[in-house]
Chains A and B, each alone.
Chain A
Amino acid sequence: MNRFKLEKIVPYVILTVIGILFIFPLLWVLVASVDPNAQQALKTPDSLTTSNFTSILKDGAILRSFAIGLFLSLGQAVLVVLFAGLAAYPLSRYALKFKKPFMYTILFMTSLPITAVMVPVYQLFVYIDLQDSLIGTVLFLTASGLPYAIWMMKNFMDAVPLELEESAWIDGASVWEGLRRVVAPLMIPGICTVAIFTFSGSWGNFFVPYILIQTPEKFPASVTIFQFFGNYGMVEYGKLAAFSLIYTMPAVVLYIFSQRFMSQGFSLGGASKG
């Protein structure tokens, strides 16, 4: 009887310990952000303040970096959804000779580390005069996000029954109208999943804009926060923590939001990537 009890308790104990170990590094950001005299070590604040947040949100340069980050991620997400949606249609609906090799190439591309091509991408951008260009960065981000988006989008589109589209065609709709008015609305959860995935991916990406953008005025939040860390990180812990929290917020909110669309859980049926 005793052994049975122990077997039940031990997992809870181990999980609690892991949980505590996991939460420690995170606690610092949460606590330091509301502490007027935050230090590097975690401590209980003597008083609570929102001044860290307000001073970050009043800083014009930081606000601009958030706007630029939004432009990059939103621009990328819109282009990716649009292009992937268009590409997924023939891949889902028609029997094409090049479909198999193309889909394999796409799958292959989803798993290649982007880090490996950043040096030649930089050189390419110098050649075609796109370095330090936000539009250029959006286009590169679009290319890096497209393979996975096409893969997901095709799977989502496969789930939309052809009969619904056909009945629209009988009513005189063109293929394009069918895609826009019948298929796309039925795929809203899928489209949102792709958009959220793409957006959060580039919102958190530091390396790509760090390489492709040179003018500090054009840095997105991911790069500005790194600079802030370099310049004030060792002094203004409270502000760094507040900046980090504001910067992390969109990723958290979008993750929670995406859970509503991905109710079937997290299976490696397709190519899943974090």
Chain B
Amino acid sequence: MYTGMGCGMNTDPVLSHEIQIKEKRKKDYTLFRSILFLLPTWIILLIFFVGPILLTFYFAFTNLSLTGTEAKSLEFTGFQNFVTMFQDPNFRISMVNTIVFLVFSAVIGQQVLGFILALLMKEKNTSFRRIIGIIVIAGWVTPEIVVAFCWVAFLSDNGTLNMILGNMGMKPVTWLYTFPMISVIIANIWHGTAFSMLVYQAALDDVPKSVEEAAVIDGASRFQLLLRIVLPMMKGSIVTNMILVTLQTLGVFTLIFAMTGGGPGASTQTLPIFMYNQAFVNYQLGYGTAISLILLLIGIVSSTIYIRYMKVEI
């Protein structure tokens, strides 16, 4: 929306010149006001958002440390951190863990479960729909740290799941030690599915009824209808949701930290946990920052794809 438009119908050269000057002044004042209004945002974002990102690029190439002799003498060490990183078996483990966690909890788990929920709930009894919706959304609204407690209580040696198994005459399983990665993946699916479900519910509602009816009249089966008509029409939502959920999952720290602490060993150590351990447990901030740079780069690439894909009008 613009202001100060809609003149120029005037044919008098002198008057039109005066209007032009007025317009110019108004424009200058508009610019001044815009800058004034945007200034607090710019300052805050520059110091606390852009600053840290730039620092990431800088610190990643230094020997920055919390303690010891290196803490006093910050030195530029070139690609040393990255050489260390690529030789560090822990980095490779974390990278693989991150990919496994992303693929199974974000891409497959939340997406597929969210979609199935949205699809099955379509045109069902309203109160039934509502009850299932509330249960799934409850997991989403619950803060991450409480989600971790719930799942520790559910999966721990004396937890609910083992009690159920015991009642059925089965031996208890040390879930968090024997299957730590599956445990954190399931907990994260539980926490995140509601988002995908809501997105897909909205997307399914956007598919026009007439299109579905036309396909049914043409003799399409339910499965064909879903595969050939509904899914292609939802492509936009699927891609944007996929990228958003991936980005969110990439940053998951609290859930894993509180459930397993990255362990046992390094079996659930994803990149954020690895970064935290190096920076704040081993006090190697430079090395920790190099790891965050990897995280940041993955984030930057995904965000760029996301924005390209969105093609939003601004």
Please state if B41 and A150 are interface contacts (CB–CB under 8 Å).
yes
Bound-state CA distance A122–B41 (Å) is 21
Residues of A within 8 A of B3 (CB): 93-94, 162
In the complex, which range does the number of interface residues on chain B fall in? Answer: 35 or more
Whole-angstrom distance between the Cβ of B193 and the nearest chain A Cβ: 8
Please state if A119 and B285 are interface contacts (CB–CB under 8 Å).
yes
Taking the complex as formed, is B99 at the interface, i.e. its CB lies under 8 A from any CB of chain A? no
Please state if B154 and A120 are interface contacts (CB–CB under 8 Å).
no
Residues of A within 8 A of B156 (CB): 40
Taking the complex as formed, is A60 at the interface, i.e. its CB lies under 8 A from any CB of chain B? no
Please state if A14 and B158 are interface contacts (CB–CB under 8 Å).
no
Please pick, from B30, B56, B121, B310, the residue contacting A117 in the complex, using a CB distance under 8 A: B56
Please state if B149 and A229 are interface contacts (CB–CB under 8 Å).
yes
Please state if A222 and B143 are interface contacts (CB–CB under 8 Å).
yes
Please state if B38 and A123 are interface contacts (CB–CB under 8 Å).
no
Please state if A203 and B143 are interface contacts (CB–CB under 8 Å).
yes
CB-CB contacts below 8 Å: A40-98 with B: 40-43, 79, 82-84, 86-87, 89-96
Q: Which residue of chain A has the shortest Cβ distance to B187 in the bound complex?
A: A25
Interface of B is mostly: helix
Bound-state CA distance A116–B291 (Å) is 9
Taking the complex as formed, is A15 at the interface, i.e. its CB lies under 8 A from any CB of chain B? yes
Please state if A120 and B34 are interface contacts (CB–CB under 8 Å).
no
Please state if B272 and A115 are interface contacts (CB–CB under 8 Å).
yes
A234-248 near B? 1/0 per residue, CB < 8 Å: 000100110010011
Q: Which residue of chain B has the shortest Cβ distance to A139 in the bound complex?
A: B48
Please state if A29 and B120 are interface contacts (CB–CB under 8 Å).
no
Please state if A111 and B296 are interface contacts (CB–CB under 8 Å).
no
Taking the complex as formed, is B124 at the interface, i.e. its CB lies under 8 A from any CB of chain A? yes
CB-CB contacts below 8 Å: A106-127 with B: 107-109, 111-124
Please state if A143 and B38 are interface contacts (CB–CB under 8 Å).
no
Residues of B within 8 A of A117 (CB): 49, 52-53, 56, 292, 296
Please state if A29 and B150 are interface contacts (CB–CB under 8 Å).
yes
Residues of B within 8 A of A167 (CB): none
Residues of A within 8 A of B120 (CB): 11, 14-15
Taking the complex as formed, is A252 at the interface, i.e. its CB lies under 8 A from any CB of chain B? yes
Residues of A within 8 A of B141 (CB): 200, 248, 251-252, 255
Please pick, from B55, B116, B128, the residue contacting A120 in the complex, using a CB distance under 8 A: B55
Residues of A within 8 A of B216 (CB): none
18 A-B contacts (beta carbon < 8 Å): A14-B116, A15-B128, A16-B132, A23-B135, A25-B160, A40-B156, A42-B153, A87-B40, A111-B306, A117-B49, A124-B55, A144-B48, A150-B41, A175-B33, A204-B145, A252-B138, A267-B206, A268-B203
**Minimum-distance CB pairs A-B, first 4:** A113-B251, A143-B48, A204-B143, A90-B34
